[in-house]
Amino acid sequence: MNFDEVFEKLKAKFPGGVLERADTKPDPFIKVAPAEIRDILLYLRDELKFETIANLGGIDYPQLPALCVFYHPASYTHTLVVALKAYLPREEMPKIPSVADIYKAADWLERETYDMFGIEFVGHPDPRRILMPEDWVGYPLRKDFVTPDYYNGMPVPLYFDDPQGKPK
């Protein structure tokens, strides 16, 4: 099995959920609808033998504008990793169904994506920040994130007079 077969099977099974394929280099990806990501990953896991998820994370596209969650389900059977991307509106806290109960590896990856991008994974068993402090304000990997001047009374920028941290 290769990427083309996976795409054809997904397209036949989910005509509304699988939107299009993008033949980017070096690896193509499949654009999917966020609402059907659980059904698609369940089908991939149970029918197409994608036993694990290699990666899950977020991307910020201020030029589209969109926030993206990407999934890399991986198959030991076919020695194959495919990339799925779900595009969400670029707003304060967009929502997408959690897949932590489908792939256990996705648990902490979804927490990290929530931590860095401010995407809510509906149904996640433990939706807390994982890297940043719990009282941190903002989502650091968004392109419009501004580093705060102070955190808990500690100055954050290197050059205190210049909050941008640029050398003088």
Partner 1 sequence: MTPPDSVVMTSIDDVLKWGRSNSLWPLTFGLACCAIEMMATGAADYDLERFGCGVFRSTPRQADLMIVAGTVTLKMASRIRTLYEQMPEPKWVISMGSCSNKGGPYWAQGYHVLKGVDRVVPVDVYVPGCPPRPETLLEAVINLQKKIKVQQASLGALGLLRRRA
Under rule CB under 8 A, residue 22 binds partner 1: no
Closest among 45, 41, 33, 92 to 71, alpha carbons compared: 41
Instruction: Pick the binder of partner 1 from 66, 80, 130, 132 (CB under 8 A).
Output: 132
Under rule CB under 8 A, residue 143 binds partner 1: no
Q: Which two tokens stand for residue 55?
A: 């990666």
Under rule CB under 8 A, residue 137 binds partner 1: no
Q: CB under 8 A: which stretch of 17-25, 52-60, 68-76, 141-149 binds partner 1?
A: 141-149
Q: CB under 8 A: which stretch of 26-34, 38-46, 48-56, 158-166 binds partner 1?
A: 158-166
| Bridge partners (DSSP) listed for residue 70 | 57, 85
Under rule CB under 8 A, residue 140 binds partner 1: yes
Minimal distance, residue 5 CB to partner 1, in Å: 42
Closest among 131, 134, 136 to 150, alpha carbons compared: 136
Under rule CB under 8 A, residue 161 binds partner 1: no
Instruction: Pick the binder of partner 1 from 156, 161, 163, 168 (CB under 8 A).
Output: 156
* 117: phi then psi, degrees, rounded to nearest 5: -120, -10
Q: Strand locations in 33-104, DSSP E?
A: 52-61, 66-75, 80-81, 84-88, 95-97
SS3 80: strand
Closest among 101, 41, 110 to 75, alpha carbons compared: 41
Q: Which residues bind partner 1 (CB under 8 A)?
A: 131-133, 140, 145, 147-148, 151-152, 154-158, 165-167
